[in-house]
């Protein structure tokens, strides 16, 4: 199976340094342009995407809509792929370092999901896709920066089985509208093909932050 984890397009909160978490924020004009570019890119992938899953948060569903139209697929909405709950920190304007520390799981926000609980949810979401769509060659999931970083952490730390000779992926900041391309082999081992692939977004604004 080829699994494409797609980060949603930009929101005003992204551009302003506001930690969104599970808030119902909408794409801005740049975000819609990123979603359109992402939809065009998804049409070129091999093998072609057969299933499109999306987080139930508004910004993810708005990103998934043009992809669904381009690929002629229905959206499978799954709240397991929503962003981490940041509790009391949601809606706050944070500095870049504080956002990174919170989003990357370095600290646990008051009233939010702990790093352990969040990463367990992401691991279960990955297992669910692998089991539910086991007969499909390629699945795309529209999700969030924190989820993608958690998936990379699971691979980097060995909490997800990795294929032999697979180098641990680097958890760089995740651009809006970018692609993480993973594969899952018959033994249940994961491989990283592309990380933070945003070649289709050249010329558009990029914000490297959480949510």
Catalytic residue (one of 2, 65, 83, 181): 83
Q: Annotated catalytic, 90?
A: no
Residue 150, classed as helix, strand or coil, is helix
156: CB partners within 8 A, 6+ apart = 168, 169, 170, 171
Three-state SS string over 28-64 comes to: CHHHHHHHHHHHHHHCCCCCCCCEEEECCCHHHHHHH
100-138 core/surface letters (b: 16 or more CB in 10 A; e: else): bebbbbeebbeebbebeebbebbeebbeebeeebeeeeb
Q: Which of 8, 144, 153, 181 is catalytic?
A: 8
Told to judge if 153 belongs to the known catalytic residues of this protein, a careful annotator would answer: no
Examine residue 95 and say whether the peptide bond preceding it is cis (omega within 30 degrees of 0).
no
Residues labelled as active-site residues: 8, 83
């Amino acid at each position: 199976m080829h699994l494409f984890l797609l980060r949603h397009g930009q929101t005003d909160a992204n551009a302003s340094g506001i930690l969104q978490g599970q808030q119902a924020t909408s794409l801005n004009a740049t975000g819609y342009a990123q979603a359109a570019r992402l939809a065009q890119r998804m049409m070129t992938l091999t093998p072609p995407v057969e299933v499109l899953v999306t987080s139930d948060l508004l910004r993810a569903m708005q990103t998934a809509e043009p992809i669904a139209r381009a690929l002629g697929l229905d959206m499978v909405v799954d709240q397991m792929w929503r962003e981490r709950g940041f509790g009391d920190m949601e809606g706050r304007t944070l500095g870049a370092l504080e956002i990174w520390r919170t989003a990357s799981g370095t600290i646990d926000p008051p009233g939010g999901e702990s790093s352990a609980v969040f990463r367990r949810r992401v691991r279960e979401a990955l297992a669910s896709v692998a089991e539910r769509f086991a007969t499909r060659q390629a699945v795309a999931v529209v999700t969030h920066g924190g989820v993608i970083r958690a998936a990379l952490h699971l691979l980097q730390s060995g909490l997800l089985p990795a294929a032999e000779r697979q180098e641990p992926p680097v958890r760089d900041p995740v651009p809006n509208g970018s692609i993480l391309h993973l594969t899952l082999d018959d033994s249940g081992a994961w491989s990283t093909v592309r990380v933070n692939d945003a070649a289709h977004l050249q010329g558009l604004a990029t914000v490297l932050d959480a949510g």
